[in-house]
């Protein structure tokens, strides 16, 4: 494994003993959790360790939903779209789902310059993002029949205008989210939002 990142190799060896690995960033010189999980998925694919590939993808999904506001999220966009491994295609859709959920700040807020620079430098991501936007605008993707759930916000002002929004079904169960208009309701858990889930 001379070409493999030693940090990822260490995590791989740990997995063989414990059937798990740490991605909390506490280990010496460990890469950011999102990047580590991506690289662990590639490593698992390379050496045909399917259970590790599933574990790494699950850890990756949880991390990108929780840490989309970190610089490592933009780095992950660059690394994922710079890799042509077949196992990466599922991660691209996960990234697009997260970007869609937080697009109002990721593309506009100067605090996310790392993400913005990454997408400027990644034409394939911009193409995929354009397809996602076009499908939503022209109604070619029905969120009620795909990978999304549609909610109606009960917040003050939102009810007057029947504000609805979509959230990916792939978010972790403990994930909290808010109305994209940032109304008075603030972030709530999924138990709260299920009361306002539109019938599908």
How does pLDDT run across 123-140, given as a tens digit for each residue?
Answer: 999 998 888 877 765 555
Tell me how crowded residue 82 is: count the other CB atoms within 10 A of its CB. Answer: 12
Q: What are phi and psi of 94, to 5 degrees?
A: -60, -45
The whole-angstrom separation of Cα 63 and Cα 39 is 13
How does pLDDT run across 54-73, given as a tens digit for each residue?
Answer: 999 999 999 999 999 999 99
What residues does 165 pair with on adjacent strands? 151
| Residue position matching structure tokens 């993002």 | 129
Residue of 171, 133, 168 lying closest to 149 (CA atoms): 168
How does pLDDT run across 117-176, given as a tens digit for each residue?
Answer: 999 999 999 998 888 877 765 555 554 445 677 888 887 666 766 667 777 776 777 778
H-helix or E-strand spanning residue 152: strand 148-152
């Amino acid at each position: 494994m001379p070409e493999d990142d030693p940090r990822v190799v260490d995590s791989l060896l740990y997995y063989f003993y414990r059937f798990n690995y740490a991605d909390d960033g506490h280990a010496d010189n460990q890469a950011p959790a999102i990047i580590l999980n991506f690289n662990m998925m590639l490593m698992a694919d390379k050496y045909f360790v399917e259970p590790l590939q599933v574990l790494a993808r699950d850890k990756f999904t949880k991390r990108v939903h929780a840490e989309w506001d970190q610089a490592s999220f933009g780095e992950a966009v660059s690394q994922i779209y710079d890799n042509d491994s077949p196992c990466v295609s599922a991660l691209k859709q996960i990234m697009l789902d997260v970007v869609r959920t937080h697009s109002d700040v990721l593309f506009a807020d100067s605090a996310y310059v790392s993400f913005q620079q990454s997408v400027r430098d990644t034409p394939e991501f911009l193409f995929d993002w354009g397809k996602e936007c076009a499908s939503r605008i022209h109604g070619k993707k029905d969120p009620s029949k795909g990978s999304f759930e549609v909610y109606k916000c009960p917040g003050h002002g939102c009810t007057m205008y029947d504000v609805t929004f979509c959230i990916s079904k792939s978010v972790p169960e403990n994930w909290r989210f808010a109305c994209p208009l940032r109304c008075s309701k603030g972030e709530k858990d999924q138990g709260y939002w299920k009361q306002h889930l539109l019938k599908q």
